[in-house]
Structure 1
Amino acid sequence: MVYLLLSCCLCLAFVFGQSAVSKTGSKAFRDFAGSAGPLEILPTGLRVPAAAGVVVAEVTLTVALLVGAFSASLRFVASAGFLLAVLLLLSFTAAIVVTLRRGIRKPCKCFGAATTPLGRAHVVRNVLLLAAAVAGLVAGATRPESVEPAGFAIAAVAGLVGGLLVTRFDDLVELFGSQAIG
C-alpha cells in the first residue's frame, strides 16, 4: 500500500501544484477568477475571494501531499492533503455539473489558458482524481511497510505520469475525440 500512497500523493500533488502555478501572476489569476465555468455559479463579488481560496487550498494540499509522501512519520499530513483534495474535487465536480445543467459550455482556466469548453469529460476527470484521493486515504490508513528502491521509483514515476496526463487531459480528449465522453 505504500506504493499506492506514493503514487496518489505525487499524482495529485502534480495536478494541484500545476493548477496553482498556472494561476500565479496577476493576469493569470484575473483570467481564472473572471472565467466562466465553475466560478460562474457564484455571485460576481465572491468570485475573486473564491478563486483565491482555491489557489491557497491547491498550494496547501500540494505541500501536504509532498510532505506526507516522503516522510513515513508524517503520513497524517498526506491524509489531510487527501481530505482537502476530496473536498475540492467534490466542490469542483458539483460546480461543473451545475454549470453544464445551466447550458454553459465555456472554458475554465483551471490549468491556465484553456480553450476547451467544460463538458462531461471534465466530470470524468474529476471522478478519476477523486478515486485517486480516496485510494490515497485508504493507503495512508494502513500500517507503514518497508520500501524497496525499485518499487519506490516505479510508484513515483507512475504518479508523476498520471499527474501529467491529467493536466493535459483537454489535449488528450481533443486528440482522441471528445464525442465519446464530452
Structure 2
Amino acid sequence: MDIGCRWVVVVVLALAALSKAWGRRPFEDFIQTLGLFGFPRSWAGAPLAAGVIAAEVLSALLLLVAPREGTVAALVLLGGFTVGLARVWRRGDAVSCRCFGASNTPVGAAHLVRNGLLLSVLVTGGLARQAGAAVPSPEWMTVLAGVFGALAGVLVTRWDDLLFLLGTPPPAVSAPAALKKSRH
C-alpha cells in the first residue's frame, strides 16, 4: 500500500513541476500566480518560482529513494500549498490555480479537497509503511500498487477536468467572496 500511495504523490509532484517549467510562458504564468497568492513583490519572482519547482522535484525524488524523508518533505510542501490555497479562497480572490500549468480554473473548495486527499494519501502510506515494515509483499503486488498509484496520480493532475466531466461547474467567484457580498 505504501508504494501505491507514494507513487500517487510522486506523479503529482513531478507533473506539477514539469508543467510549470515546460517553457518560458508556463514559468512566467506561475511567477505571476505567486504574486497573486500574496507573496511580496520582492519574493514573487523567478527565484521563488524556481525554488517551488525544485522543492516539488526534490520531494518526488525523496519519496522514491528515502520514503520517510520524502513523506515529511511532501507533507510540508503540500501543507504549505494547501494553506496558500485556503488563504486565497478565503479572501475571495479570483486567482487561477496554476498547480499543473495552464489551468484557468479559479482557486476553490475543490482544490482544497484535492490537496486534503493528497495529504491523506501521504499519511496513509506512511502509516502503512510503519505497520508493514516487517511484512514483505509479493513483487507483483508491489508493481501493481505502483502502477495503480501512478495512474491515480495522473488522474489527480486532471482534477479540474474530472470535476467538469462529473458536472461540477468551476466557481466563477470563490465561495467566501460570494457569501460576503450576499451579506451586504
The alignment of Structure 1 onto Structure 2 pairs a total of residues equal to 169
Give 1:151 shift.
1.1
Q: 1:149 aligns with which of 131, 139, 143?
A: 139
* CA-to-aligned-CA distance 1:101-142 (integer Å, 9 cap, x gap): 111122121101111111100000000000011112222324
CA contact (8 A) 2:20 2:26 kept: yes
Are 1:106 and 2:95 matched, yes or no?
yes
Instruction: Return the alpha-carbon distance in structure 2 between the equivalents of residues 107 and 161 of structure 1.
Output: 25
AA paired with 2:107? Answer: L
Instruction: Return the alpha-carbon distance in structure 2 between the equivalents of residues 14 and 92 of structure 1.
Output: 17
Give 1:154 shift.
2.2
Secondary structure, in 3 states, of the residue corresponding to 2:93? coil
Q: What is the aligned partner in structure 1 of residue 76 from structure 2? A: 87
CA 51–180 in structure 1, closer or farther in 2 if over 3 Å, else same: closer
Query: Equivalent residues in 2 for 1:12-51 (5 A)?
Result: 12-24=9-21, 25-35=23-33, 40-48=37-45, 49-51=47-49
Bigger shift: residues 24-33 or 144-153:
144-153
Query: Equivalent residues in 2 for 1:64-83 (5 A)?
Result: 64-67=62-65, 77-83=66-72
Q: Which runs of 5+ in 2 are unaligned?
A: 176-184
Instruction: Return the alpha-carbon distance in structure 2 between the equivalents of residues 20 and 180 of structure 1.
Output: 23
Higher Rg of the two aligned structures: 2
Bigger shift: residues 169-178 or 24-33:
24-33
AA paired with 1:164? Answer: V
Q: What is the aligned partner in structure 2 of residue 70 from structure 1? A: none
AA paired with 1:50? Answer: L
Secondary structure, in 3 states, of the residue corresponding to 2:102? coil
Q: 2:111 aligns with which of 111, 122, 135?
A: 122
Q: What is the aligned partner in structure 1 of residue 182 from structure 2? A: none
AA paired with 2:8? Answer: C
Give 1:180 shift.
10
TM-score between both structures, scaled by the size of structure 2: 0.84
Give 1:179 shift.
5.2
Instruction: Return the alpha-carbon distance in structure 2 between the equivalents of residues 92 and 64 of structure 1.
Output: 18
Instruction: Return the alpha-carbon distance in structure 1 between the equivalents of residues 6 and 134 of structure 2.
Output: 15
Q: Which runs of 5+ in 1 are unaligned?
A: 68-76
Instruction: Return the alpha-carbon distance in structure 2 between the equivalents of residues 129 and 50 of structure 1.
Output: 23
Bigger shift: residues 138-147 or 110-119:
138-147
Q: What is the aligned partner in structure 2 of residue 73 from structure 1? A: none
TM-score between both structures, scaled by the size of structure 1: 0.85
Q: What is the aligned partner in structure 2 of residue 132 from structure 1? A: 121
